[in-house]
């Protein structure tokens, strides 16, 4: 399957899932996860109307992005080391993976040097998986409240990764809890606007859409299998 065919099928599935939950698909953003994919394939996706790409490894990203047109929008979606913050920040428009206080401080520090606000989502580890990064839901309110006090960060919402499952129905609760957490945080923290809920990957994005996702991170479904 070509990227074009993959995309048309993905868009159709997003639309159907949105309809099932009484929503429209216009407000749902697709982030094409281009990790492990070469520049040519990214250009192919660009030619098919994809404008936003996600990468999860700083080194790979920093090597790739200068080879691509500047109008492209990049999101960083992986665990980010503090010593890579400066370079990554200068090239991305959104960090999905704000997962610890030391990273928040470093992003704030670097962005403040130029009076900028870096845009970020807080990554929450809803399922409590040991192998995954992210803030525990029980700690999310304190963490988010602290982050909103940092001048250098503009918090835009939450991101979560569901556990891998044969049957994506099993992880519906993860998406539902993330959405409820997002709503609760908005209620409890003054001035906080949670605009984005980044959840849903190739194996589970329809369930994520049904549960309120408005930013999907899709790799395999767009580009095919990674080798
Ligand atoms: C790789 C990756 C994705 C995309 O995974 P697919 O299953 O290929 O869609 C999404 N989010 C994160 C954080 C990833 O690392």
The predicted-structure confidence for 52-90, as pLDDT tens digits, reads as follows 999 999 999 999 999 999 999 999 999 999 999 999 999
Secondary structure of residue 33 in the 3-state scheme: strand
Q: How far is the CA of 181 from the centre of ligand 1 (A)?
A: 22
Cβ–ligand 1 distance for 134 under 6 Å, the answer no
Token pair belonging to 27: 């407000």
Instruction: Tell me the per-residue pLDDT of 154-180, one tens digit each, with 9 for 90 and over.
Output: 999 999 999 999 999 999 999 999 999
Mean pLDDT for 34-46 is 96
Map 80-146 to HEC letters: CCHHHHHHHHCCCCEEEEECCHHHHHHHHHHHHHCCCCEEEEEEECCCCCCCCCCECHHHHHHHHHH
Domain positions in the chain are 3-223
Q: Which of 56, 99, 123, 199 to mutate to test the pocket of ligand 1 (most atoms within 8 A of CB)?
A: 56
123 lines ligand 1 (CB under 6 A): no
Residues sharing a CB contact under 8 Å with residue 166, sequence separation 6 or more, in sequence order: none
Give the position, in ligand 1's atom list, of the atom nearest the Cα of 31. 10
Look up the pTM and report it. 0.97
Identify the pLDDT of residue 226.
Answer: 76
> Which residue, among 54, 7, 9, 14, has the nearest Cα to 209 in the 3D structure?
14
Check residue 216 and give its pLDDT.
98
Q: Buried b / exposed e across 173-200, counting CB within 10 Å, b at 16+?
A: ebbbbbbebbeebbeebeebebebbbbb
Task: Determine the 3-state secondary structure of 152 from DSSP.
Answer: coil
How many whole angstroms separate alpha carbon 52 and alpha carbon 46? 9
pLDDT band, very low/low/confident/very high, at 25 (cuts 50, 70, 90): confident
- Decide if pLDDT at 24 tops 90: no
Q: Which residues 6+ apart lie within 8 Å of 210 measured at CB?
A: 17, 20, 21, 172, 175
Residue 31 DSSP class: E
Q: Retrieve residue 71's tokens.
A: 């109008």
Tell me how far apart the terminal alpha carbons of the chain are, to the nearest angstrom.
16
Model confidence at 225, pLDDT cuts 50, 70, 90, reads confident
Query: What pLDDT score does 26 carry?
Result: 87
Q: Please state, in angstroms and rounded to a whole number, the distance separating the CA atoms of residues 174 and 1.
A: 31
Does residue 10's CB lie within 6 angstroms of at least one atom of ligand 1?
no
The CATH architecture that domain 3-223 belongs to is Alpha-Beta Barrel (3.20)
For residue 1, give every residue at least 6 positions away whose Cβ sits within 8 Å of its Cβ, in sequence order, or none: 9, 224
Close Cβ partners of 109 (under 8 Å, ≥ 6 residues apart): 152
pLDDT one-digit tens code per residue, 110-131: 999 999 999 999 999 999 999 9
Mean model confidence pLDDT for the chain: 96
Counting residues of the chain whose pLDDT is more than 90, the rounded percentage is 96
> Counting every residue, how long is the chain?
227
Per-residue model confidence as pLDDT tens digits over 83-120: 999 999 999 999 999 999 999 999 999 999 999 999 99
Residue 77 CB less than 6 A away from ligand 1? yes
């Amino acid at each position: 399957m070509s990227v074009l065919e993959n995309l048309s099928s993905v868009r159709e599935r997003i639309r159907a899932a949105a309809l099932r939950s009484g929503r429209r698909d216009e407000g749902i953003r697709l982030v094409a996860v281009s990790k492990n994919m070469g520049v040519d394939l990214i250009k192919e996706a660009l030619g098919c109307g994809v404008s936003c790409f996600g990468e999860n490894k700083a080194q790979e990203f920093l090597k790739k992005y200068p080879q691509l047109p500047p109008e492209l929008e990049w999101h960083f979606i992986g665990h980010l080391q503090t010593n890579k913050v400066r370079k990554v920040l200068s090239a991305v428009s959104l960090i999905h993976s704000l997962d610890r206080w030391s990273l928040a401080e470093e992003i704030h520090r670097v962005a403040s040097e130029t009076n900028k606000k870096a845009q970020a989502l807080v990554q929450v580890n809803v399922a409590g998986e040991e192998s995954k990064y992210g803030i525990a839901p029980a700690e999310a309110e304190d963490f988010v409240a602290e982050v909103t006090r940092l001048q250098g960060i503009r918090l835009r919402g939450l991101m979560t990764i569901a556990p891998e499952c044969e049957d994506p129905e099993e992880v519906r609760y993860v998406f539902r809890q993330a959405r409820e957490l997002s709503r609760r945080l908005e209620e409890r923290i003054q001035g906080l606007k949670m605009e984005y809920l980044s959840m849903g990957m190739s194996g589970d994005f329809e369930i994520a859409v049904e549960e309120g996702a408005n930013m999907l991170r899709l790799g395999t479904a767009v580009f095919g299998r990674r080798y």
